Amino acid sequence: MAQISAGSQPTGISINRSGLSTGGGDVVGRDSVGGDNIGGDKITINAFVGAEKAYQADDNDLGSARPPRLLPYLTDRAEQLRYLTGALQRQFDRGLNKPVTFFAIGSDDDCLDSFVEQILYLRLPSILNVNGLPPAILFRSLQWPSANVLSDQSLQSTVNQLDGMKDQIHDMLGLRSGASTSMVEQKLANIRASCFFHVALQACDWSASQATLVEAWLHWLNELHPSKVPFPIITVVSIGYPSDFFGRLRWQRALSILRRDINSLTISTEFALSAYVLPRLRSVRFDDVELWIREYVDNADREVLRRHVRRYFLRRRLFSMFGIGDRTLPMYQTAEAVKLALRDKSVRLVAP
């Protein structure tokens, strides 16, 4: 379960605090709904992008491992988001509400975790709003079994691991371990919130056992009857792989098997309307970074920062064949370039 410190809520993000019970701690999102404690994050978002404007590039932030949080949103993700939105909207238009799972496969440069945040904080609230659904979202990051745990390929092992996954949902909903499907349906109907689950995997962990467990998970989700669960249940499974040349070369065969296994699930008749593979993510253009600097950078010399960052894009273009092509960088490299530029003393504004 994601945890948000009550004292560090960013500007622009509104947390639904009705019936809030933190148990004496500083964890926001433990709502009491219908008298039962719900251990998820019930979040209502007003303007997540507005919160990003509050990002301060001080020494601590610049020295952190994570890049400025807005930057991964700059990539051209229109195709991926359009695909996700279309799949969900088709369900609503047909009067269906089957649980939906999306698979996002990308390199470490693709910042898949930030893509998941973009869906949670921007895209999903917009989809709920236009369809007249409650804005509350119950979010849970699920702990998927590792490759070592799944080394046993027996049926009983798969059943045990699936029970462990289901118990994470039971815990989130305040249900006992081993609760029946009907109890889960009743609880989901009562909380009046959409559910958003995230599973983060690595290609190196993929195996036949993983594929079997993913299929079992999809089967269980399909057991939840749409007429008894009136609000969307969405899962994003992000699968990352190394971005460096030798890493990609090493895992090339594993990636082929992974894509084959996932595609076979999504094209099957059983999961035709409930499982999708998202298109691959793309890179960041220098124009996108310029826009970010103009709109969101308040504590640095924008022109000097722009020139510093531009060097990285020009260098990339010079190394390409004849310098022809778009000036683009992978997301994470773009973020690192901006971090390095922000560390330069010439970029910092001098107080009068």
Q: What is the pLDDT of residues 220-244, one digit of tens each?
A: 999 998 888 888 999 999 998 887 7
Question: Does 170 share its domain with 316?
Answer: no
How many folded domains does the chain comprise? 2
CB distance 105 to 262 below 8 Å: yes
Asked whether residue 290 is assigned to any structural domain, the reply reads: yes
Domain edge (last residue) among 277, 302, 331: 277
Question: Does 289 share its domain with 238?
Answer: no
Note the pLDDT tens digit of each residue in 43-81. 433 334 344 444 443 434 444 444 455 555 666 677 888
Domain edge (last residue) among 277, 298, 330: 277
Question: Does 261 share its domain with 128?
Answer: yes
Report which of 120, 107, 71 is spatially closest to residue 242, judged by C-alpha positions.
107
Note the pLDDT tens digit of each residue in 3-50. 322 233 222 222 232 332 222 222 223 232 333 334 444 443 333 434
Its pTM stands at: 0.71
Average pLDDT, rounded, for the chain: 74
Secondary structure (3-state) at 282: coil
Distance in angstroms (rounded) separating the CA atoms of residues 34 and 188: 11
Q: What are phi and psi of 241, to 5 degrees?
A: -145, 160
Calculate what percentage of the chain has a pLDDT beyond 70: 70
Q: What are phi and psi of 339, to 5 degrees?
A: -60, -45
Structural domain for 66, as ranges:
4-277
Question: Does 225 share its domain with 131?
Answer: yes
Question: Does 248 share its domain with 171?
Answer: yes
Note the pLDDT tens digit of each residue in 273-312. 889 999 887 678 888 888 888 877 777 888 999 999 988 8
Note the pLDDT tens digit of each residue in 155-205. 677 888 889 899 999 998 889 998 999 999 999 888 888 999 999 998 888
Question: Does 156 share its domain with 248?
Answer: yes
Asked whether residue 352 is assigned to any structural domain, the reply reads: no
Distance in angstroms (rounded) separating the CA atoms of residues 25 and 84: 36
